[in-house]
Amino acid sequence: MQILSRLFKSKTVKNSVLSVMACLPLTVSAKTILVVGDSLSAGYGINPEQGWVQLLQKRLDQQYPKQHKVVNASVSGETTSGALARLPKLLQSYKPEIVVIELGGNDALRGQPPQMIQKNLAQLVQQSQKSKAKVLLFGMKIPPNYGTAYSQAFENNYKVVSQQYKVKLLPFFMQGIAGHKNLMQNDQIHPNAKAQSILLENAYPYIKGAL
């Protein structure tokens, strides 16, 4: 025992142990985050570098240097049906560990049946989970002029899908922005550059939790 004690006190052994510890992997493994959204995530009407998805990559680079990659597969005007057609190739190409689904607003603005929107959202989640990805669902709301019944049915879709497939739900992605004219573009539909940091703050706790 005395021999072992002397051995572990030696400088050579200490240096060897430190060298082995330095080679151990970090506790947070590198992950690919796939964002599948519409104009809110595509950065419509602003410089793409100002968009919340780009701000997300910058924050991750600061907190987890050279670890996580964000792939922005968002398209302005995208619907749940359009994303459903694109998703298999995206999953195959990028093999993401995390999929962020930010969709449904354009479906509602076009008056699509809530049941169809819910079905498409469910299939988007299912396909992502089948590829072993963790899913985050970002909820949306629509203007009151669509009627209370339609608005409630649309908003309830996100809750139903999140509960059914046990995925984390951000109830309202535009929280703190919608209704504030100074944070919206002239069309009063799309958030401006100043609003992007708020979108990031809304999203980031969910993304960090998934990491």
Catalytic residue numbers, as ranges: 39, 187, 190
Strand partners, 98: 33, 134
Q: Dihedral sign for Cα 131, 65, 62, 48, please.
A: negative
Whether the pTM exceeds 0.75: the reply is yes
What is the pairing mode between strands 98-102 and 134-138?
Answer: parallel
Ordered per-residue pLDDT tens for the chain, 211 residues: 444 445 445 554 445 434 444 444 445 689 999 999 999 999 999 998 999 999 999 999 999 998 999 999 999 999 999 999 999 999 999 999 999 999 999 999 999 999 999 999 999 999 999 999 999 999 999 988 889 999 999 999 999 999 999 999 999 999 999 999 999 999 999 999 999 999 999 999 999 999 9
- Give SS3 for 97: coil
| Domains, the chain | 28-210 (3.40.50.1110)
Phi, psi of 209 (to 5 degrees): -60, -40
What is the per-residue pLDDT across 20-60, written as a single tens digit (0 to 9) for each?
Answer: 444 444 456 899 999 999 999 999 999 989 999 999 999 99
